Amino acid sequence: MRVRGSGVRIQLERLGVAVPRLRKRDLIADAAGEVLTRPARTLLTMLGTALGVGALVATVGIGQTASNQVSSRFDALRATQVTAIDLGFGEPLPPDTDTRLANLNGVVSGGEVWVVGDQIEVAPRSQPDSARTVSVLAATPGGLEAMGLQIHEGRLFDIFHHARAEHVAVIGVGVARRLDLARVADRPAIVIDDIPYTVIGVITSSRRRPEAVLSVIVPSSTAVASMPDGGNVREVLVEVAPGAAEVVGRQLPLALTPLEPDRLLITVPPSPENLRADIDTDLDTLLLILAALGFVMGVVSITNTTLLAVMERTSEFGLRRAMGARPRHILAHVLTEAAALGTAGGLVGMTLGILALTTIAAANTWTAVISPAVISLAPILGTLTGLIAGVYPAYKATKIEPVEALRR
């Protein structure tokens, strides 16, 4: 360019002509006209962007919805439970396990609960011949409490029974029926290995050990003394206050087996924070891949179509140049068209994404949750896609020589 700045103004003044200019409103109306008069092409072009934005909106929405579900349907039972498996192979845990557990902050109740055998013959004392095979559990009073039992009749055994290794049993309502036992008030008894046990209670359910309904539960001291062959895997069951699971889980080995901290295999529930973070991390990766794919698709398809359109409309751009359009006007024109395509794709994608999200949420009876930020970001992302896609075709369009273009 030979003359710049004020020189241009002087030249224009001398010629008595004004700088060619293009109003923004006209630019947008012109581009919109071009996009709207070719609906089929517009639709196909914005498909990529629409899919990309749609995938993004749906994925983020599903992430947010799922995260919301995690907090609302959070498993309170599991979250307040810590279990430990004793890998000591029969070595007894300290006799004051219940007390040690109770002394830990955050523990509601806790103690040993372990399976003595799951195929043990049990007969009512009144009818020694009608034996049934049931499973027998052993528990300390703390463990019994931690099982979350619902008592149907009678009572649970306690420290007194445990300390004295009394031959008492708490049985599930299923066992009581199978053995056709009398009411607890009539002091029925059952026989295991020729030793009678007085049934002091019948339970109808157990929150933490549902199988207890079909079992006979005896004090663990009794089991150790009277059924020496049974159960070499001891377990500890602890009910903790909400939020205390992790801390209790860490303290458990030190409280019960301080000399062999690795003897206990501790299981704590996943913390809600970790759970949500896990979901978020999974979704973040998926989301990034989907979104990136969508945008690449969007950019490629818009670049393609716009480039094709520029070639198709070479004579039109040549004519525009002849009629006073500056290269920058042509640049703005093509970019605006591409941006309009991108924006339209973004809007359609957003609609599709929300539609997909609500459909998925409805099918799962979830409440669809999506942040307004994502919704307002969708068309902006579309516009951006269009702008990026438009750069190369727009640059090509500015290189159209009117002479060449108009010869066609």
Interface with another protein: number of residues (CB under 8 A): 43
CB of 401 to another protein, least distance (A): 8
349 binds another protein (CB under 8 A): no
| Residue from 40, 185, 323, 363 binding another protein (CB under 8 A) | 323
73/408 with CB nearer another protein? 408
Structure tokens at 55: 């995938």
Residue 342's Cβ-count burial label (10 Å; 0-12, 13-18, 19+) is: buried
Residue 361, amino acid: A
342 binds another protein (CB under 8 A): no
Residue 253, amino acid: P
CB of 44 to another protein, least distance (A): 16
Tell me which stretch binds another protein (CB under 8 A): 30-38, 54-62, 175-183, 362-370: 30-38
CB of 405 to another protein, least distance (A): 9
- Could you tell me whether strands 189-192 and 107-124 are parallel, antiparallel, or unpaired per DSSP bridges? antiparallel
Q: Mark residues 34-73: x for contact with another protein by CB under 8 A, - for none.
A: x--xx-----------------------------------
Alpha carbon of 118 to those of 18, 132, 208, 216: distances in Å? 99, 12, 18, 10
Cα atoms in the Cβ-side hemisphere of radius 13 Å centred on 336 = 19
24 binds another protein (CB under 8 A): no
CB of 70 to another protein, least distance (A): 52
Query: Rounded to an integer, what distance in angstroms lies between the CA atom of residue 239 and that of residue 78?
Result: 9
116 backbone φψ class: left, alpha, beta (φ>0; ψ -120 to 50): alpha
CB of 347 to another protein, least distance (A): 22
Based on C-alpha coordinates, what's the Rg of the chain? 38
CB of 9 to another protein, least distance (A): 9
Cα atoms in the Cβ-side hemisphere of radius 13 Å centred on 162 = 20
| Residue from 11, 285, 359, 364 binding another protein (CB under 8 A) | 11
324 binds another protein (CB under 8 A): yes
CA angle 175, 177, 179 (to 5 degrees): 70
| Beta carbons within 8 Å of 38's beta carbon, 6+ residues apart | none
3-state secondary structure of 205: strand
Q: Mark residues 366-405: x for contact with another protein by CB under 8 A, - for none.
A: ------------------------------------xx--
CB of 402 to another protein, least distance (A): 5
Listing DSSP states for 190-204 in one string gives EEETTEEEEEEEEEE
84/340 with CB nearer another protein? 340
Structure tokens at 344: 């339209």
CB of 24 to another protein, least distance (A): 11
- Could you tell me whether strands 215-219 and 132-139 are parallel, antiparallel, or unpaired per DSSP bridges? parallel
Query: Rounded to an integer, what distance in angstroms lies between the CA atom of residue 251 and that of residue 268?
Result: 12
| Residue from 85, 293, 319, 368 binding another protein (CB under 8 A) | 319
12/288 with CB nearer another protein? 12
Interface residue list for another protein (CB under 8 A): 1-4, 7-8, 11-12, 14-23, 25-26, 30, 33-34, 37-38, 315-316, 318-327, 329, 402-403, 406-408
